[in-house]
Structure 1
Amino acid sequence: MSTAQNLKVGFIGLNPDSHWAAMAHLPALQSMPEKFTIVGVANSSLESAQRTAEALKLPHAFASAQDLVNSPEIDVVVITVKVPYHFELVSAALNAGKHVYCEWPLGNGLEEARQLTALAKQKGVVAVAGTQARGALEIEHLAQLIKEGYVGKVLSTTLIGSGGNWSGETVSEYYYLFESKNGATMQSIPLAHTLAAIKDVLGDFATLDSQFVFNFNDVKITDTGETKEKTAPDQVLVQGTMASGAALSIHYRGGANRGTNLLWEINGTEGDIQVTGDLGHAQMIQLTVKGAKGEEKELQPLMPEKAVYQGLPEFPGARNISRLYSRLYDDITTGSQTAPSFEDAVKLHEVVDAIETSAQSK
């Protein structure tokens, strides 16, 4: 491009004082004022949109999502609402010819994701699914280490993670996560986000054999005292292989524990790498990378250079999202294809679908 272009962003689902959009998307976009300007919002009501617009000093509060996507003031529509609403809202934005950033999961299941991807291709817009662990500096660093042969031939990889939710208690606001019909389960959110990163580092998945365990059939809603049915699993077990032939073992568990809440190991003929974190959501936590190879007997720090973090948001979730927005900007303004696309999202949905289909056949 010969001149810089500032893209105008409209949010569907943004409250200024809470939730993921405020914690991660706002600081991500605010770190790039030369590329993006947030100009409008549509929430569940006009009053809610007006409160957000006033708090954030946005020029436009839209009465409905349809009004937002139809507005000539909006270049990019960002959708950060619950999964069951993604299909309708993404469809509206695409049909209005807008570029889209939709939080992961893209759809409530594989079929919705496929339909949205086909529509995005038909409309010829840039459509990004927010698998932001793929934007993590640590994941890019890992992929380079593997490519350069740090561990030699990869023999196996092991992943253990805690979902944070999906145990025996929750608050009413998050109960929807515990109903499988909503497509917001442990396997579709924290595990899938992490699998997106693993795929970037180790390549495609091949055979997957899985099992779901339900230690809790009910969930206590702590803020109301109710007990409700729980249909999402609280233990997800997967064994299989990568396309490279490496062995794969996964265990995701509900809640959190007093040990390591994210442990990902890569073992090879020449060395070993260990990735740890405070929660099984690789997309939103600080990842710590250690490794050893050759004659080394103990793991040593294996992090990216500190300089690469400069100028990026401190919160890892916002930092990762800012890097996806930067790619989205390039894709819109230069015609490149660098951000996680809807096509990529379909492939990830296929992995989740394979895990679910295998578990449900047991």
Structure 2
Amino acid sequence: MSRFYELDPSLENYWRAIVLFGRNTASYKFALAKSLYDLHSTGKTLITLDELAEPYAKHLCERLKKHPKQITRDQSTFLDYLRSFNEGKISHDEMIKQTVRYGFNNVIDAFHNVHGQEVGARFFTDERKTSGGIQLTDEFFQLGEQFQFGNLQEETEARWRLVETAWENNISSNLMLIEYEDISENLIGVTSIRRNSVTSARPALNGYQKGRCFYCFRDISVEPGSDDLADVDHFFPHMLKRCDSTKPLDGVANLVLACQNCNRGENGKFERLPSVELLERLYNRNEYLITSHHPLRETLIAQTGNSAAKRQDYLQTAYNCASLYVGIKQKWQPKAQGNPIF
């Protein structure tokens, strides 16, 4: 498992490790995670495969309508049945039957495995042989009581959209860049022929900040309408364009989530340049995104450099440039409001 999570073991971050770092050869993991969110409110602990198949198939059927590529292989018997249901060729009962037969062959076994080993908490146990389903654990219901539970749901959706976009654009051979759009507050996929809204920037970035403000570590939310809704902040303010218009200010390498107080409160950042300590934190954040093989890694590499040394130089050059406009001693850093967990 990634060192990023081992430093702060918690139920929230074990779950994030599964969603953010688990292998992505199919989107079944995301559908299962979203199904578990749906089932949390029922309070049931034993979930039969028939019961699990309802939300699981529903989520995948909805995605297939807009995003046909949900697996890296060329063919899937299971997905073919879901497509047939969407096309009205088979009944709902037949679709559920085939979901139970084919839909859980690997995802239940592999769900808790990250980087070849099991995470430090189990959110369900496999009881297909004894009870015909899965048993939700106390850890899962404890997770549901956490402040971050709503954030985790938003993060799962954002991660799914990023993976879909990468597959649809064959990102390994046809590089797609991701930029931020201030008006919509969405991440935008940019190819040579079009710009498509991918997902909201907040949940896409939040997993690596673990629900905390990038600057002060205060709890933040990514749920729309929340009083604690995070701001999407440009680490390097727009003044950087005055000395180097080539820097991608709206690139993901320059975006962090900040609490409202840090971004625009009485002693907020506004157009000030963060301290060099915070610059190092930004570099470390970007390196985690790259080394985790996140779909955003290609964008980060394209924007900041194809080696760690080049990426460090990229940030240092931008920092030196911006410093000329704010004064070398006029750097900003807030008081910590929580433990430094990343």
TM range (shorter): under 0.3
TM-score scaled by structure 1?
0.25
Q: Which has the higher helix share?
A: 2
TM-score scaled by structure 2?
0.26
